């Protein structure tokens, strides 16, 4: 393969789904570049398009299929020559997806990631790739967490060695950084552990090395991602390892903010709350996965908690950091959910004063325990409940944002429009899902951190005047 950039095979990465997928795409991009491919942004300019799919819920699967079909339609013009599916949907369905979607030239699973450059090169040469038959990836790792470090099974986003193996696909001032992958919980509605595998922490040295590399790339905020950040370190022999790691990450040169995502309420211990709320450079931000508030619904979900314990946790958070950002997701219309249980959820949301809440209607997922449950609500009833809770959440979000008027915030500038409009995020706003803060009459550049006071709100969005 010649080193002339014009003669290298080009590849475009298209990423769907969550921030964890973004990390996986950047690792794949790094592997491809190291393997002799030239990265391009536009699929129409690429010899091959790699679509990193999402396989979480039905709507995400549809988006993945639609994106693959759109990329395949481009082949009629001669560019791209091949379209390849990777990611969670590809791993979860493998051969089944390949057979049902012949428009895709190949479906690659997680085990193909270490050799992704060779795989693409052979596909481009016209060789047929036999898609894998999916298996429960939990079976690839020892049951005992502390024995998992000895496993050689590929884990996306966990590449060790030079941090430059990762190639940034977004030049923004915020970057996701993977803490761990997989999950040991057995929530009855969730299929993720079956295709992401059991919980595996990254070594602190690898996390820190990548954080330093990101700092050198101009990243100002690290967004720590995993399926369950509260479990970090349990397979490394120290369940409190995150409390130790966070101050070290906050001290990385160039990094101003460290934000933790996806905390399990039942595992969120007082020491972790105190560390997140009180460590300089760590954002007092709590992404708490409540899912519901009714104790009986939570038990059927194979989860733990009730309104009192959840409100107690929030009281603890706000006792340490009164202005802390708190977001969550809830599922409504779960099998057997009564109107009384739904009202318990609504009462909790009113009392909780969350900044943002995502509302999802229940739907069966292949291979989950809940898919076998009796008491399914019909689709119209689920939609009606989603609409009811969404309306309530929108009102509560408006109220919570209005409470922040007069509050002093530090805004990380993420975009400056052609007319000079400045958009960013305050500390309580996570990337993409928690609204934005718009700076009025400000002159700033992307990556700047600006002190301002909130003067107006609209939904989860804030408008602030520079101090």
How far, in Å, are 35, 37, 65, 79, 240 from residue 2 at the CA level?
Answer: 12, 10, 34, 21, 49
Residue 4 belongs to some domain of the structure: no
Report d(CA 201, CA 327) in Å as an integer: 24
Enumerate the known binding-site residues for [4Fe-4S] cluster. 18, 54, 88, 183, 187, 190
pLDDT top residue among 259 and 75:
259
Q: What is the pLDDT of residues 216-246, one digit of tens each?
A: 999 999 999 999 999 999 999 999 999 999 9
Query: Would you state the pLDDT for residue 157?
Result: 84
Is the four-CA dihedral 177, 179, 181, 183 of positive or negative sign?
negative
Same domain, 157 and 293: yes
SS3 letters for the chain?
CCCCHHHCCEEEEEECCCHHHHHHHHHHHHHHHHCCCEECCCHHHCCEEEEEECCCCHHHHHHHHHHHHHHHHHHHHCCCCEEEEEEHHHHHHCHHHHHHCCCCCEECCHHHHHHHHHHHHHHHCCCCCCCCCCCCHHHHCCCCHHHHHHCCCCCCCCCCCCHHHCCCCCCCCEEEEECEECCCCCCCCCCHHHHHCCCEECCHHHHHHHHHHHHHCCCCEEEEECCCHHHCCHHHCCCCHHHHHHHHHHCCCCCCEEEECCECHHHCCHHHHHHHHHCCCECCEEEECCECCCHHHHHHCCCCCCHHHHHHHHHHHHHHCCCCEEEEEEEECCCCCCHHHHHHHHHHHHHHCCCEEEEEECCCCCCCCHHHCCCCCCHHHHHHHHHHHHHHHHHHHHHHHHHCCCCEEEEEEEEECCCCCEEEECCCCCCCCCCCEEEECCCCCCCCEEEEEEEEEECCEEEEEEC
Same domain, 243 and 336: yes
Residue 5 belongs to some domain of the structure: no
Q: Residues 351, 307: contact at Cβ < 8 Å?
A: yes
Same domain, 353 and 414: no
Same domain, 448 and 391: no
319: CATH: 3.80.30.20
Same domain, 317 and 234: yes
Query: Any bridge partners for residue 86, and if so which?
Result: 52
Q: What is the pLDDT of residues 249-286, one digit of tens each?
A: 999 999 999 999 999 999 999 999 999 999 999 999 99
Residue 366: is its pLDDT beyond 80?
Answer: yes
* Residue where a domain stops, chosen among 89, 111, 134: 134
Average pLDDT over residues 14-29: 93
The mean-pLDDT minimum among 2-6, 83-87, 104-108, 239-243 falls in 2-6
In sequence order, what are the residues at sequence separation of 6 or more whose Cβ sits closer than 8 angstroms to the Cβ of residue 452?
A: 408, 409, 410, 411, 437, 439, 442, 464, 465, 466, 467
Residue 340 belongs to some domain of the structure: yes
Residue 2: is its pLDDT beyond 50?
Answer: no
| Percent of all residues in the chain with a pLDDT value above 70, rounded to a whole number | 98
Same domain, 97 and 197: no
Phi (first) and psi of residue 327, to 5 degrees:
-130, 165
Residue 140: is its pLDDT beyond 50?
Answer: yes
Same domain, 457 and 381: no
52: CATH: 3.40.50.12160
This prediction's pTM: 0.93
Report d(CA 202, CA 225) in Å as an integer: 11
Report d(CA 21, CA 259) in Å as an integer: 17
Same domain, 300 and 436: no
Q: Residues 406, 454: contact at Cβ < 8 Å?
A: yes
Average pLDDT over residues 300-305: 97
Residue 42 belongs to some domain of the structure: yes
Report d(CA 410, CA 324) in Å as an integer: 13
| Percent of all residues in the chain with a pLDDT value above 90, rounded to a whole number | 87
Instruction: Give me the chain's average pLDDT, please.
Output: 94
pLDDT top residue among 17 and 178:
178
Same domain, 220 and 293: yes
Q: What is the pLDDT of residues 98-114, one digit of tens each?
A: 999 999 999 999 999 99
Enumerate the known binding-site residues. 18, 54, 88, 183, 187, 190
Residue 1: is its pLDDT beyond 80?
Answer: no
Average pLDDT over residues 113-138: 93
453: CATH: 2.40.50.140
Average pLDDT over residues 361-386: 96
Greatest CA span in the chain, whole angstroms? 68
Report d(CA 329, CA 287) in Å as an integer: 9
Same domain, 264 and 185: yes
Query: Would you state the pLDDT for residue 439?
Result: 97
Residue 2 belongs to some domain of the structure: no
| Tally of CB atoms within 10 A around 192 | 20
* Residue where a domain stops, chosen among 88, 109, 134: 134
Phi (first) and psi of residue 64, to 5 degrees:
-65, -45
Q: Which domain holds residue 452?
A: 407-466
Report d(CA 284, CA 320) in Å as an integer: 9
Query: Would you state the pLDDT for residue 147?
Result: 84
Query: How many folded domains does the chain comprise?
Result: 3
* Residue where a domain stops, chosen among 107, 134, 161: 134
Residue 23 belongs to some domain of the structure: yes
Residue 1 belongs to some domain of the structure: no
Same domain, 46 and 120: yes
Residue 3 belongs to some domain of the structure: no
Residue 200: is its pLDDT beyond 90?
Answer: yes
Average pLDDT over residues 335-348: 98
Same domain, 285 and 151: yes
């Amino acid at each position: 393969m010649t080193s002339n950039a014009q003669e290298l095979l080009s590849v475009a990465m298209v990423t769907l789904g969550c921030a964890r997928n973004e990390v996986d795409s950047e690792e794949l991009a790094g592997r491809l570049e190291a393997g002799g491919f030239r990265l391009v942004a536009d699929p129409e300019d690429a010899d091959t398009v790699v679509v990193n799919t999402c396989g979480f819920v039905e709507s995400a699967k549809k988006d993945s299929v639609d994106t693959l079909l759109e990329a395949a339609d481009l082949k009629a013009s001669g560019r791209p020559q091949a379209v390849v599916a990777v990611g969670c949907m590809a791993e979860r369905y493998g051969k089944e997806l390949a057979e049902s979607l012949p428009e895709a030239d190949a479906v690659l699973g997680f085990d193909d990631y270490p050799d992704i450059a060779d795989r693409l090169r052979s596909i481009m040469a016209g060789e047929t790739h036999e898609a894998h038959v999916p298996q429960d990836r939990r079976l690839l790792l020892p049951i005992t967490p502390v024995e998992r470090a000895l496993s050689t099974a590929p884990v996306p986003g966990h590449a060790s060695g030079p941090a430059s193996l990762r190639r940034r696909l977004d030049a923004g001032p915020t970057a996701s950084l993977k803490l761990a992958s997989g999950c040991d919980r057995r929530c009855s509605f969730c299929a993720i552990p079956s295709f992401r595998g059991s919980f595996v922490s990254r070594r602190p040295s690898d996390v820190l090395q990548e954080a330093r590399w990101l700092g050198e790339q101009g990243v100002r905020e690290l967004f720590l991602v995993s399926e369950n950040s509260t479990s970090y370190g349990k397979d490394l022999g120290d369940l409190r390892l995150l409390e130790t790691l966070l101050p070290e990450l906050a001290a990385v040169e160039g990094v101003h903010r460290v934000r933790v995502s996806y905390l399990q309420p039942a595992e969120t211990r007082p020491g972790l709350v105190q560390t997140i709320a009180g460590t300089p450079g760590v954002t007092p931000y709590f992404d708490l996965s409540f899912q519901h508030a009714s104790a009986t619904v939570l038990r059927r979900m194979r989860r733990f908690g009730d309104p009192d314990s959840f409100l107690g946790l929030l009281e603890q958070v706000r006792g340490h950091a009164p202005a802390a950002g708190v977001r969550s997701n809830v599922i409504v219309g779960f099998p057997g959910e009564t109107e009384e249980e739904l009202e318990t959820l609504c009462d909790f949301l009113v009392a909780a004063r969350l900044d943002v809440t995502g509302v999802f209607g229940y739907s069966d997922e292949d291979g989950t325990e809940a898919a076998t449950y009796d008491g399914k609500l019909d689709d119209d009833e689920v939609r009606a409940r989603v609409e009811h809770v969404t309306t309530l959440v929108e009102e509560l979000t408006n109220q919570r944002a209005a409470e922040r008027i007069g509050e002093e915030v530090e805004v990380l500038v993420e975009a400056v429009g052609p007319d000079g409009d400045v958009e960013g995020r305050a500390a309580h706003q996570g990337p993409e899902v928690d609204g934005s803060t718009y700076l009025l009459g400000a002159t700033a550049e992307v990556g700047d951190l600006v002190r301002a006071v909130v003067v107006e709100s609209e939904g989860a969005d804030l408008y602030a005047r520079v101090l």
